Structure 1
Amino acid sequence: MARITDRTILIVGASSGIGAEVTRQLAHGGNRFVITARRAPELAAVAKEVRAAAGSACLDIPGDALDPRAAADVVTAAVEAYGSIDVALLNAGQGPDMSIDEVSVAEVSRIMALNYDVVVNYLIPLVQQMGSQPDGGLIAHTNSLAGLIGVPRQGPYGAAKAAARTLLDAARVELAPRGIRFTSLHPGFVATDRVSTDGLPKPFQISQERAARYVVRALEKEPAQAYFPWTTTALVRALRVLPTPASSLILRKLASR
């Protein structure tokens, strides 16, 4: 059984992929869930599965994380239903294959919105709520190893993730006295339906079930940064310390596979 028990957990981006799987893996802990995503039928199916399999409370609220008002309303609804939010997992975002010489300004701006603005839209109301709670709360964000290094064909995505990491790093220091904790999750390539046909090479790819296990472990231990799997993490760390000509050559070869 998960060590996260009897908690109110908000999961953004829970209709599929890592978000849905984390919900399932935590469902046997007697937790109270508020799950949200844009796709209402898929979200409702996850909520129904959780209630049927584990008997956990699960409130599903369709909403667009790009809309600040909708995000704030989800936080309000969670508090109205359960009184507080103990853990929030911000899992919304996209990382499509994007070559810099082919994308438009609008496409790059949209990737920034999908991976940075959505964090801000939930971060602000969550900080306001958790700051009023005696024990604060945990805010976790699904970032990416691509946010640590300039991965070819992932430039706009990596840039947005790097911005989100910097924002949460600052928030962690500022808000620690108020009991608000932050964990940035940095997965490598994960085999979700959304990226299965994008054509981007994915060395050391892991299943979404395995990725969710890493996420659950991080939610339990609350490290500032969690990197996984170790294979991709080791590759990224090596590339960061190599001389730029060497790392650039390796990245070009990886991207051309």
Structure 2
Amino acid sequence: MARITHRTVLIVGASSGIGAEVARHLAHGDNRFVLTARRAPELATVARDVRAAGSACLDIAADALDPSAAAGVVAAASAEFGTIDIALLNAGQGPDMSMDQVGVADVSRIMALNYDVVVNYLVPLIEHMLAQEHGGLIAHTNSLAGLTGIPRQGPYSAAKAAARTLIDAARVELAPRGIRFTSIHPGFVATDRIRGDGLPKPFQVSQERAARHVVRALEREPAQAYFPWPAAALVRTLRTLPTPVSSLVLRRLASRQ
């Protein structure tokens, strides 16, 4: 299995968390990076770390919710480095959100943050990679929550499920054109954003460990990657159980503090 070296890598959501850690990990491979996120100062810090490790880096502050901004990032990457070999779509949020307290606007916002941002980059990336002789890899940081409806994360689960289904279809359609797709499904990851939100997080892993799993998936390019294994095994088991049984287990997990 070859390490990722001398590639052009686009990371969306690179200013912190998994995206930043993946960039720092791959920076030692003499790669070329395009890093993007909304927060310019934090993004610039990650870009400096990448350059210090020996890789070229273009950092672009842009809002993934803006389709024109996303298309502009892809165009800038093409103009700077010519090709995009790997794209990691890592933007999204999954806050604690009970269905008896949410409004329509809350659900729409979570859908936008976890589905629309994927579409905004997916479409221009496909157009770009179709023009490349070697195609390319588009990876998406999905979630184990996208495999079943997780209590207190219903809107997030729905958005991730929609993104997974869209990418599954794109994988089948575009395989003959050389574009590959990997959906990466983490469990709970200990990022600053979700610390202290009150949501139970069984089998939680550090963002550094999560980044190592993501890098491994980018290297191996499976259609689906799941981690950590205890959480993945739990979700897979829940999907095979009768609904009354799985619902009982999920209610108990959601009530743990």
Measured against the shorter chain, the TM-score band is: over 0.9
Equivalent residue runs for 1:98-117 within 5 Å: 98-117=97-116
Q: What is residue 212 of structure 1 aligned with on the other side?
A: 211
C-alpha separation in 1, matches of 2:19 and 2:106: 24
**C-alpha deviation, 1:232, in angstroms:** 0.2
Deviation at 1:49, TM superposition (A): 1.2
Aligned residue number for residue 199 of structure 2? 200
Measure how far apart 1:173 and its partner are: 0.6
Quote how far apart the aligned CAs of 1:65 are: 0.1
Q: Read off the aligned partner of 1:56 and give its amino acid letter.
A: S
Q: Which residue of 2 aligns with 1:63?
A: 62
Give the alignment of 1:1-257 within 5 angstroms: 3-52=3-52, 54-257=53-256
Query: Structure 2: 5+ residue runs without aligned partners?
Result: none
The C-alpha deviation readout for 1:13-54, integer Å capped at 9, x for no partner, is: 0000000000001000010000000000000000011111x1
C-alpha deviation, 1:93, in angstroms: 0.2
Which structure 1 segments of 5+ residues have no match?
Answer: none
Partner secondary structure for residue 108 of structure 1: helix
Q: Match of 1:92, SS?
A: coil
Q: Stretches of 4+ moved more than 4 A in 1?
A: none
Deviation at 1:72, TM superposition (A): 0.2
Count of residues in Structure 1 that have an aligned counterpart in Structure 2: 256
Letter in 1 for 2:35: I
Distance in 2 (alpha carbons) for counterparts of 1:185 and 1:38: 22
TM-score (norm 1): 0.99
Which letter does structure 1 place at the counterpart of 2:146?
Answer: G
Distance in 2 (CA, whole Å) between partners of 1:55 and 1:147 is 36
Residue type at the aligned position of 2:205: I
Could you tell me the percent identity over the aligned residues? Answer: 80
Distance 1:162 1:45 in 2: 32
Query: Deviation at 1:55?
Result: 1.5
Q: Structure 2 length as normaliser, TM-score?
A: 0.99
